[in-house]
Structure 1
Amino acid sequence: MRILVSGVAGDIGFGIGKILRNLSFVTHIYGIDVHNNHPGKILFDECYIVPAASNPDYISCLSDLIYKNKIDIFIPSSEAEIELFSSLDKKNISSAKVLLSNTSMVNECLSKHKCLTFLKSVGIKTLRYGLVGSDEPTRYPVIVKPNSGRGSKGIKKIESKEEFIKFLDNCPDNFVWQQYLYPDDQEYTCAIFKSDGIDFRSLIIKRELSEGFTSKGEVVENTKIKEYIHKIAESFCLDGVMNIQLRLTEDGPMVFEINPRLSSTLVFRHMLGFKDLEWWIQSKTNQRISLYNNPEVGTLFYRGISEHIIKI
C-alpha cells in the first residue's frame, strides 16, 4: 500500500509517518508540506512541496502527485486541508481514498463555538461560552481563544469584566470565550475510534501541558468520563477518529474542545496499543481491523526531544 501524508513538517504529520513506517501492509510513504525545511526526508520515501490548501492550484498539484506515485491512501493532517476536503465532501482524489472522519462531525468540530452549540442542542452538558464581540460573560474568569485552530497560540485567561472590555479593544476576528474550568490538575485528552461493525474504542489520558501540547500523560479509567465521551461520539454519529479535550470538574466531565482528526498524542497512543491510525486505514481498505487490548491503568508517558541529522 502506498500512502501520502500532508503536513509532514508538523508533529502530527511526522508522527503519522513514524507509525506508517512500521506497518507491514504499507510499502511506500510519501510526504508533502508547503516548505522543505523539515526532517521528513529521513522518514518518508520522498517529500514534496505543495501550495497551501487555500491556493487554487492545491487540488490539481495534489492530484498530480497522487497519480504520479500511484497513491492508495491520502492522509491530510492539517486543519486547513481537513476543512477543505470536508467542505467539498471529497472521499477520493485521483486514485486515492482520503482518510477523513464523517464530514458532518468534522464540519461541526472545526469551529469551537459551533461544536459546543451542537452539543448543547442534543442535551450534552457544556461549559458557558460565547462569541467575543457578540456575547459577554456574566462570570469570570474565562478563557479567550481563536474559534478555530490548535495549540496554545492566541489563548488568554481573562480575570474580570474590566479586563474583558480592554481585550475587546484589540481583539482579533473570530474569537470565542469559554468558562474557565477548575481544577487545573484535572485535564484529560480522550481518543475515540469507531467504524462499521466495531464498537467504540476509547483511551482516556490524564495530561500535563507544556506550551499547549501534552508533555506528560497517564492512562486512567473513569466511568463518568467514558460514558460522557461515548455519548458525545454517538451524538456525532462518529465514523473515524476524534479527540475530546475536557476537564473533570465538580459538576462532572466538561468538554472544552474536540479535534475531528488524529491528534498530537497519536504516537504515544499507538505505542500503548490504541492504534487508531492503523485501525482507520484497515477499515477504509476492507482489511480485518486489529484487536485492541486496553493498556494498563497507571501507565505513564513523557514527551521528549529528538535529534535528526540530514546529510547533504
Structure 2
Amino acid sequence: MNQIKVLVTGVGGGGLGEQTLKALKLSKLPLDIIAADVTPISKGLSQVKRAFIVPPASSSNYINEVLSICAAEKVNVLFCGSEAELKKLSKHRQQIIDAGIFFPINNDKVIATCLDKFKTAEFFRENNIPYPKTYKITCLSDIDQIGTFPLVLKPNTGAGGSANTMIVQSKDELFAFVKYLLGFYNEFVAQEYVGDPESEYTVGVLSDMNGKLINSIAINRFISSGLGNRIKVKNTSGRSELGEHLIISSGISQGEIGRFPLVTKQCEEIAQKIGSTGPLNIQCRLVNGKVYIFEINPRYSGTSSMRAMVGFNEPDLMIRHHYLNEPIKRNFEYDEGYVIRGLDEEYLPKKDK
C-alpha cells in the first residue's frame, strides 16, 4: 500500500489537534503525517518530520495557505484541530474536495446546530430529548425569567475547556455575574446544573459520512481532582442530590473508559436523530437513568487518542472506510479500563534567526 499523506492542523499542546495527531500515530496504516499550527512554539509540531506555520483561521489568507500546503505536499487527507478551523474549513468543504483531499468532518447542519449551545437546546426541546433548562441571555432583564438554581453561565459558542464558565447559586450571584459577562459577550447561556460530579461522561459516537452508525464509546470522567476540574465550589443551593461540591470539568478528561451501554445507547439515538455524518462528541450526565446533554461537539475529541489506545481509533476508521474503501466492522469490541493523564514536558531549542 502506498503511503497516505495526512495533514493535521491546530496541533498545539493539549488540544483537539494534538489528540488527533496522537490517534493517527497509533494507526497501523502507512501514514506520512505532517502538521500545521499558528505558532512554532507548538508541542504537536515537534512530533512530526515536516511542520508548517499557518495564519489564524480568522485570517483572509488561512484557506489559501492550507490549500497551498496540501498542494505542495500532495496531501491526501486533512484533519482540522480546532473549532475555529472547523468553522472556516467547513465553509470551503467543496473547494477542499475538488482539490482531491479527503476531509472527514460532519455535515454543515450538524456543525451549525452543535456549535451553538442554544440551538442545541432547541433541538432537544423540539425532539422531546431530556436536557438541562437553557436560557439565552442578551440583556440583564433576561434573568427575570429564571427561577432555577444552581446554574452554569457560559458563552453560547466556543468556550473550549470551559473557558469563561461560571456557577451561580442564587439570584444575587446571577445578577452580578450576568452583568459582568455582558461586558464581554453579546449573548451567552444560563444552563441548569444537573447531576452529581460522579455521573459525568464524555461520549464519542462515530457515524460514517452516509449517516450510518459505526460505534460509540464513553469515559466516566474523574473531575473531582485538580487536573480534571476548572471550577469547584461548595454546594450552597440546598439541593443535596447534586453532591457536596458543584464541579465544572476542565476539559482534560480522564477516568473509566468503556461501553457504558445505558449512556452510549441513548447518545447513539440522539446522534442518529440529529443526523450526524461523522464524529460527534457528547458531554453529559446520567440522572435517574436518563442522559442529560449539556454540550455536543461536532468533531473529534480531546479524548481521541485515549479512545485509540483501547482500539477505538476514529481518524483511522474514517480513512479506512471512506478513503481506502475498506469494509469495517460496526459495533466492534474494544478494551475497557482506565485512562489517566499527567503533565508531559517538551524542550524546543531556539532556532537561529
TM, length-normalised to structure 1: 0.92
Aligned partner of 2:246 in structure 1 is: none
Structure 1 counterpart SS, 2:207? strand
Aligned partner of 2:81 in structure 1 is: 77
Q: 1:26 to 1:146 in 2, by over 3 A?
A: farther
> Is it true that 1:141 corresponds to 2:180 in the alignment?
no
Aligned partner of 1:231 in structure 2 is: 269
Report deviation, 1:197: 8.6
Report deviation, 1:289: 4.6
Report deviation, 1:32: 0.8
Relative contact order (alpha carbons < 8 A, sep ≥ 6): 1 or 2 greater? 2
> Is it true that 1:257 corresponds to 2:266 in the alignment?
no
Using the alignment, how far apart are the partners of 1:26 and 1:102 within structure 2? Answer: 28
Using the alignment, how far apart are the partners of 1:198 and 1:67 within structure 2? Answer: 31
Aligned partner of 1:288 in structure 2 is: 326
Aligned partner of 2:241 in structure 1 is: none
Q: What is the letter of the counterpart of residue 184 of structure 1?
A: P
Aligned partner of 2:189 in structure 1 is: 176
**What is the RMSD of the two structures over their aligned residues, measured on CA atoms?**
2.1
Q: What is the letter of the counterpart of residue 159 of structure 1?
A: Q
Flag structure 2 segments of 5+ consecutive residues without an equivalent: 231-249
Structure 2 counterpart SS, 1:48? strand
Aligned partner of 2:174 in structure 1 is: 164
Contact 2:114 2:120 in 1 (8 A): yes
With 13-22 and 27-36 compared, the bigger mean Cα shift is at 13-22
Contact 2:27 2:313 in 1 (8 A): no
Q: 1:13 to 1:93 in 2, by over 3 A?
A: farther
Q: 1:20 to 1:224 in 2, by over 3 A?
A: closer
Structure 2 counterpart SS, 1:214? coil
Aligned partner of 1:193 in structure 2 is: 206
Q: Mapping of 1:1-312 within 5 angstroms?
A: 1-11=4-14, 12-90=16-94, 92=97, 94-133=99-138, 135-136=142-143, 137-149=146-158, 150-171=160-181, 172-173=184-185, 174-195=187-208, 196=210, 199-209=213-223, 210=228, 211=230, 212-250=250-288, 252-291=290-329, 293-297=332-336, 299-310=337-348
Contact 1:18 1:43 in 2 (8 A): no
Report deviation, 1:204: 1.9
Using the alignment, how far apart are the partners of 2:324 and 2:30 within structure 1? Answer: 14
Structure 1 counterpart SS, 2:272? helix
Q: 1:193 to 1:147 in 2, by over 3 A?
A: same
Post-superposition Cα deviations, 1:167-206, rounded to whole Å, max 9, x if no partner, equal 2222121311100112121100110111149544011220
Q: Between Structure 1 and Structure 2, how many residues are aligned?
A: 311
Using the alignment, how far apart are the partners of 2:218 and 2:75 within structure 1? Answer: 33
Using the alignment, how far apart are the partners of 1:302 and 1:239 within structure 2? Answer: 30
Q: What is the letter of the counterpart of residue 147 of structure 1?
A: N
Report deviation, 1:49: 0.9
Contact 1:207 1:214 in 2 (8 A): no
Q: Percent identity?
A: 26
Using the alignment, how far apart are the partners of 2:289 and 2:23 within structure 1? Answer: 38
Q: What is the letter of the counterpart of residue 266 of structure 2?
A: Y
Structure 1 counterpart SS, 2:135? strand
Structure 2 counterpart SS, 1:28? strand
Q: 1:52 to 1:168 in 2, by over 3 A?
A: same
Aligned partner of 2:239 in structure 1 is: none
Contact 1:200 1:230 in 2 (8 A): no
Post-superposition Cα deviations, 1:140-191, rounded to whole Å, max 9, x if no partner, equal 1100011122112111001111111112222121311100112121100110
Contact 1:191 1:203 in 2 (8 A): yes
TM, length-normalised to structure 2: 0.82
Q: 1:73 to 1:214 in 2, by over 3 A?
A: same
Structure 1 counterpart SS, 2:265? helix
Contact 1:76 1:99 in 2 (8 A): no
Contact 1:208 1:214 in 2 (8 A): no
Flag structure 1 segments of 5+ consecutive residues without an equivalent: none
Q: 1:52 to 1:41 in 2, by over 3 A?
A: closer
Q: What is the letter of the counterpart of residue 256 of structure 1?
A: F
Using the alignment, how far apart are the partners of 2:178 and 2:47 within structure 1? Answer: 45
Using the alignment, how far apart are the partners of 1:166 and 1:93 within structure 2? Answer: 51
Using the alignment, how far apart are the partners of 1:121 and 1:88 within structure 2? Answer: 30
Report deviation, 1:19: 2.6
